[in-house]
């Protein structure tokens, strides 16, 4: 990223825009000037600017990064689309961390096989992150093992989330009207947080976003508390 911005990439398909936006909201709740970049365009404290591509072309991307840095943004969560990874649009961007959530069948119009689709996604771990940098994997997805193997082979600092996760382990979910209470085990302690969103996938999204924040130095207790205030903008409802 441009000087002054810590750049976190989020890859995975189903509702990836939630994870990048959730990560932005967590950082903002911790007092950082944070932005997200992806399906919704650029979302920053001053508002949103909508774009055409999840991952812009390299020239447009670096222009956006410079604009964010000039505007005082210090933390950016960006969606890393399989198209962008496969077409090397993200090469040359200095990253701080990356995450892999899952793999569906959303873009088989572009990728000839699921193996090719997975290979494009794993470039985030295998080529773009440097050894020693944090990698967060949702351990509950069918390709989680492959992502974890790629992260370890690269020498990344692996964190896992979800029911099968080791860093943020989801022990149970209790529905609470249009919200849900998550029972989480973190650092050997049981915690409960209320997330004002419904759906198992949203619980997973919140944990991946919190995992990214924690992996990059955020205080675990503060991150946990801020995760309880995640919201969806009206634009996301229109896209569902």
With bands split at pLDDT 50, 70 and 90, how would you rate the model's confidence at 150? very high
**Token output for 27:** 């950082």
State residue 138's pLDDT score.
95
Q: What is the mean pLDDT of the chain?
A: 84
Does the pTM of the predicted model rise above 0.85?
Answer: yes
With bands split at pLDDT 50, 70 and 90, how would you rate the model's confidence at 238? very low
Least confident of 26-30, 106-110, 169-173: 106-110
- The pLDDT tens digits for 202-233 are 889 889 988 988 888 877 766 665 565 666 44
State residue 8's pLDDT score.
60
Higher pLDDT: 151 or 196? It is 151
- The pLDDT tens digits for 153-196 are 999 999 999 999 999 999 999 999 988 999 999 888 898 888 88
């Amino acid at each position: 990223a441009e000087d002054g911005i810590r750049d976190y990439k989020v890859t995975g398909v189903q509702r990836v825009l939630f994870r990048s936006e959730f990560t932005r909201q967590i950082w903002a709740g911790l007092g950082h000037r944070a932005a997200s970049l992806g399906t919704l365009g650029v979302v920053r404290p001053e508002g949103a600017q909508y774009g055409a591509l999840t991952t812009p072309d390299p020239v447009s991307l670096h222009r956006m990064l410079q604009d964010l840095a000039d505007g005082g943004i210090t933390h950016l969560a960006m969606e890393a689309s399989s198209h962008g990874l496969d077409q090397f649009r993200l090469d040359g961007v200095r990253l701080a961390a990356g995450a892999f959530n899952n793999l569906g069948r959303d873009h088989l119009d572009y990728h000839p096989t699921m193996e090719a689709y997975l290979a494009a996604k794993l470039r985030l771990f295998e080529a773009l992150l440097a050894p020693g940098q944090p990698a967060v994997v949702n351990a509950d997805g069918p390709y989680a093992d492959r992502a974890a193997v790629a992260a370890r082979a690269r020498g990344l600092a692996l964190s896992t989330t979800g029911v099968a996760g080791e860093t943020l382990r989801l022990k149970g979910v209790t529905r609470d009207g249009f919200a849900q209470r998550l029972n989480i085990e973190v650092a050997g302690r049981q915690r409960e947080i209320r997330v004002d969103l419904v759906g198992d996938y949203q619980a997973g999204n919140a944990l991946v976003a919190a995992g990214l924040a924690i992996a990059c130095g955020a205080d675990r207790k503060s991150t946990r508390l801020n995760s309880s205030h995640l919201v969806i903008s009206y634009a996301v409802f229109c896209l569902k």
